[in-house]
């Protein structure tokens, strides 16, 4: 296995454990909701069995950028959001409402995606400004879709961990779609 292929495995195994242990002890459903998608993406990467092989490291990084963006947006939005709106109706709602967005939370989410994008640059996954833009844009779009899911179907139907898993799939999908154009 070439050394460059070990980086996504490190992303898939180490990042979620570090990020969750810093916030709170995770349950297994929390780890799978956040790390299941990148872990699953490592298998075709190692098998060289897909035409998507060149963009899989980007998709793996993108899932973590998406998750960190969501975490930053949620926590900063709840703590500092002055005016929160439901993403589907733009009606004012209390901070912490599923599907609520605020300027402060959105900026926090962008910062979270930036942190992970910079980690990807250090590790060699992000190789240009275009690739960085793909990771950032994909994280923003995926977390926006997650807010729509939270506002429309999550209540009583989907656990937060399932919504996180879906959001990570969407983030990986956006990274694959846009990444094929720049990688």
| Three-class secondary structure assignment of 53-89 | HHHHHHHHHHHHHHHHHHHHHHHHHHHHCCCCEECCC
The whole-angstrom separation of Cα 39 and Cα 8 is 9
Domain count, the chain: 1
pLDDT score recorded for residue 26: 63
The whole-angstrom separation of Cα 121 and Cα 115 is 10
The domain in which residue 40 lies consists of 3-182
pLDDT score recorded for residue 156: 81
Q: What share of the chain is helix, strand, coil (3-state, %, to 5)?
A: 75, 5, 20
Of 48, 8, 58, 17, give the one whose Cα is nearest residue 35. Answer: 17
pLDDT score recorded for residue 144: 96
pLDDT score recorded for residue 126: 93
pLDDT score recorded for residue 13: 47
The whole-angstrom separation of Cα 127 and Cα 142 is 22
Read off the pTM: 0.83
Per run of 10 residues, the mean pLDDT along the chain (length 183 residues) is: 44 48 61 82 80 87 95 91 92 90 96 95 93 97 95 87 93 96 88
């Amino acid at each position: 296995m070439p050394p460059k292929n070990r980086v996504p495995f490190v992303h898939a195994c180490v990042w979620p454990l570090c990020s969750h242990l810093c916030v709170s002890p995770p349950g297994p459903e929390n780890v799978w909701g956040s790390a299941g998608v990148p872990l699953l993406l490592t298998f075709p990467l190692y098998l060289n069995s897909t035409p998507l092989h060149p963009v899989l490291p980007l998709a793996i990084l993108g899932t973590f950028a998406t998750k960190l963006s969501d975490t930053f947006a949620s926590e900063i939005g709840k703590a500092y959001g002055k005016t929160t709106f439901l993403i589907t109706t733009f009606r004012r709602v209390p901070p912490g409402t599923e599907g609520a967005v605020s300027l402060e939370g959105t900026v926090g989410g962008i910062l979270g995606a930036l942190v992970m994008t910079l980690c990807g640059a250090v590790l060699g996954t992000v190789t240009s400004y275009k690739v960085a833009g793909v990771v950032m844009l994909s994280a923003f779009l995926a977390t926006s879709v997650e807010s729509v899911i939270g506002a429309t179907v999550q209540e009583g139907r989907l656990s937060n961990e399932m919504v996180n898993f879906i959001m990570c799939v969407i983030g990986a999908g956006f990274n694959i779609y846009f990444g094929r154009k720049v990688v």
